[in-house]
A = this chain, B = another copy of it.
Amino acid sequence: MIQDLFTPSVQHSLDLVGIFVFAISGALLAVRKNFDVFGIAVLAEVTALGGGIFRDVIIGAVPPAAFTDLGYFLTPLFAAALVFFLHPEVERINLAVNVFDAAGLGLFCVAGTIKAYEYGLGLTSSAALGLATAVGGGVLRDVLANEVPSLLRWDRDLYAVPAMVGAGIVVLCIHFEALNAYTSALAVITAFVLRLLAITRHWRAPRAWNRRSAVDEKATAQ
């Protein structure tokens, strides 16, 4: 049984930080899409809590934590209010948002993988569900905003890979019975740093081989 990697209050604070930064990204997209104040709040909630709710429904942990912990519910509303009043300032600190979002990605892929494993899933499935926890909210955000999910697009910097690496480190540690607060923190930090590197160096994933129009696109896609 894996438990108490961090003290509960530390774990809870880290969760709220992750929820907050994901909510900011949802609220900012809502502003860009010209949604009203309720649209901003809904998109903040969905982005922040969607991945965790999906995970909890899949593993049978119902009602999901998002519906039993008031802090999880109120944090996105706070983020939405902040963006509502201050969004030009928030957009200006885009770098900070990206850094926090990377932190959220790292935290959620690790926490999601561990929770899935605790509920009895195998190692591979736990890692897959950890990945889904980390990226699910963003996918729901883009679907509700009627856009192609950023996760799937080739012209966005790597997002899934850092979370996969983080989740992979966790399941390796579980397999070798080496999961503790230090190795968990290592997994979080690795995913976090990889995501930051992907942003700063514009790492991208390849598209399918031999696309007919590949040559033309290379010329225009820069």
Q: Could you list which residues of chain A lie within 8 angstroms of chain B, going by C-beta atoms? A: 30-31, 33-40, 42-43, 53, 57-60, 62-64, 67-68, 70, 73-74, 83-85, 87-88, 119-122, 124-125, 128-129, 139, 143-149, 151-154, 160-161, 204-212
- Given the interface pairs A36-B206, A40-B208, A148-B145, the reply to whether A122 lies near B70 with Cβ below 8 Å is yes
Q: A36-B206, A42-B160, A83-B208 are in contact. List 15 more A-B contacts (CB 8 A).
A: A31-B207, A35-B152, A35-B153, A35-B154, A36-B205, A38-B160, A58-B62, A58-B63, A58-B64, A58-B67, A68-B125, A84-B208, A139-B144, A145-B152, A146-B146
Complex formed: what's the CA distance from A161 to B150 in Å? 30
Q: Decide: A125 and B73 in contact? CB cutoff 8 A.
A: yes
Instruction: With both chains docked as a complex, state the minimum distance between the C-beta of A109 and any C-beta of chain B, in angstroms.
Output: 14
Question: Chain B residues with Cβ under 8 A from A37's Cβ?
Answer: 205-208
6 contacts between A and B (CB under 8 A): A30-B152, A57-B58, A85-B208, A87-B210, A144-B149, A146-B147
Contact of A35 among B38, B53, B62, B207 (CB under 8 A): B207
Q: Decide: A60 and B58 in contact? CB cutoff 8 A.
A: no
| CB closest chain-B residue, reference A160 | B38
Contact of A62 among B40, B60, B84, B148 (CB under 8 A): B60
Q: Decide: A31 and B208 in contact? CB cutoff 8 A.
A: yes
| CB closest chain-B residue, reference A59 | B63
Q: Which of A33, A38, A154, A204 has the most CB of B within 10 A?
A: A38
Q: Decide: A38 and B208 in contact? CB cutoff 8 A.
A: no
- Given the interface pairs A125-B63, A151-B42, the reply to whether A207 lies near B68 with Cβ below 8 Å is no
Q: Decide: B34 and A207 in contact? CB cutoff 8 A.
A: yes
Instruction: With both chains docked as a complex, state the minimum distance between the C-beta of A131 and any C-beta of chain B, in angstroms.
Output: 9
Complex formed: what's the CA distance from A40 to B70 in Å? 37
- Given the interface pairs A30-B152, A63-B121, A152-B30, the reply to whether A209 lies near B84 with Cβ below 8 Å is yes
Question: Chain B residues with Cβ under 8 A from A139's Cβ?
Answer: 144
| CB closest chain-B residue, reference A85 | B209
Instruction: With both chains docked as a complex, state the minimum distance between the C-beta of A210 and any C-beta of chain B, in angstroms.
Output: 6
Complex formed: what's the CA distance from A35 to B60 in Å? 32
